[in-house]
Amino acid sequence: MPVIYLSPSTQEWNAYVTGSGSEEYHMNQLADALVPYLWSNAIRYQRNRPDMTAASSIREGNAGDYDLYLALHSNAAPEGHYGEERGIIAFYYPGSQQGQRAAELIVEELRQIYPLPNKVTTRETTSLGEVRQPRAPAVLVEIGYHDNYADAVWIEGHVEAIAQQLARALTRYFDLPFIYPSTPVTGTVAVSYGTLNLREYPASDGRILANMPGGSAVTVYGEWEGWYVVGFGEQLGYAAAAYINV
């Protein structure tokens, strides 16, 4: 199953013009809202921590094997132009086809909810460490300008919607069906003999990730067309709902 490195901003000194907190605070709120969507869509993740820096986040990301490095930030206009800019920018490294594809999908989804869709764009960069240095394809999303009052208010009032659109982009990137989160519940594998397959994709020909014996305890995170999204040990995948009692 896909696994991403999730890096919300650690910049606690970047205050929102509304006085409601910092870039670090609001991007971690967004990451918190995104996590249930990751579970329900069978996307595993590793997440940085507020006491880290961009550099230590990159090092941790490079120490693992990730399919995408996703950095969440909010922007600020240059000195002398504070409060004058609006918009969303998804940055990617030039020449990274997968990074560009992820950035374009994120932009497509965020355009559907941002009030100025023509100001939601992608951009190449070689100057941002969280785009240039990760081993995995990387996207850094600057979600609005926290020094612009209208953008700051929009971010604060649309955390759930932004998280959902990011998740939709990720499922498109990984070619997975989008599944709304539900409250995780404990289930039990109910097969009379043999094992139940945990699969990489919700189809009978999906690659098998694990064999779950009858009676095994699992966690169910979501459901799609007769398939559950299931956590089993360290694995996260899809299993036929008919063979799991919840």
Domain residue ranges of the chain, discontinuous segments joined by +:
3-173, 185-245
Tens digit of each residue's pLDDT (9 = 90 or more) over 23-45: 999 999 999 999 999 999 999 99
Tens digit of each residue's pLDDT (9 = 90 or more) over 227-243: 999 999 999 999 999 99
* pLDDT over 70 percentage in the chain: 100
| Sign of the CA dihedral running 172, 176, 182, 184 | negative
Q: What are phi and psi of 132, to 5 degrees?
A: -80, -35
Helices in the chain by DSSP H: which ranges?
A: 23-40, 54-62, 97-111, 129-132, 149-157, 159-173
What's this model's pTM, rounded to 2 decimal places?
Answer: 0.97
Going through the chain in order, the beta strands assigned E by DSSP cover 3-8, 44-47, 68-75, 88-92, 120-124, 138-145, 185-189, 195-199, 208-213, 217-224, 227-232, 235-240, 244-245
Do the two domains 3-173 and 185-245 of this chain adopt the same fold?
Answer: no
* pLDDT on residue 97: 98
Question: CA dihedral defined by 150, 155, 158, 164, rounded to 10 degrees?
Answer: 140
Tens digit of each residue's pLDDT (9 = 90 or more) over 175-209: 999 999 999 999 999 999 999 999 999 999 999 99
Give the separation between CA 230 and CA 108, rounded to whole angstroms. Answer: 29
Residues 229 and 41 sit within 8 Å (Cβ to Cβ)? yes
* pLDDT on residue 53: 97
Give the separation between CA 139 and CA 181, rounded to whole angstroms. Answer: 24
Select 185-245's CATH number: 2.30.30.40, 2.40.50.140, 2.30.42.10, 3.30.465.10. Answer: 2.30.30.40
Q: Is the pLDDT of residue 1 over 90?
A: no
Regarding beta strands 185-189 and 88-92, do their DSSP bridges make them parallel or antiparallel, or are they unpaired? unpaired
Average pLDDT of the segment spanning 221-228 = 97
* pLDDT on residue 132: 98
Tens digit of each residue's pLDDT (9 = 90 or more) over 62-82: 999 999 999 999 999 999 999
How far does CA 80 lie from the centroid of its chain?
33
* pLDDT on residue 223: 97
CATH classification code of 3-173: 3.40.630.40
Residues 148 and 84 sit within 8 Å (Cβ to Cβ)? yes
Average pLDDT of the segment spanning 149-167 = 98
Average pLDDT of the segment spanning 142-170 = 98
By three-state DSSP, how is residue 143 classified?
strand
* pLDDT on residue 147: 98
Tens digit of each residue's pLDDT (9 = 90 or more) over 82-105: 999 999 999 999 999 999 999 999
| Sign of the CA dihedral running 15, 21, 25, 31 | negative
Mean pLDDT over the full length of the chain: 97
- Residue 21 tokens read as 């907190």
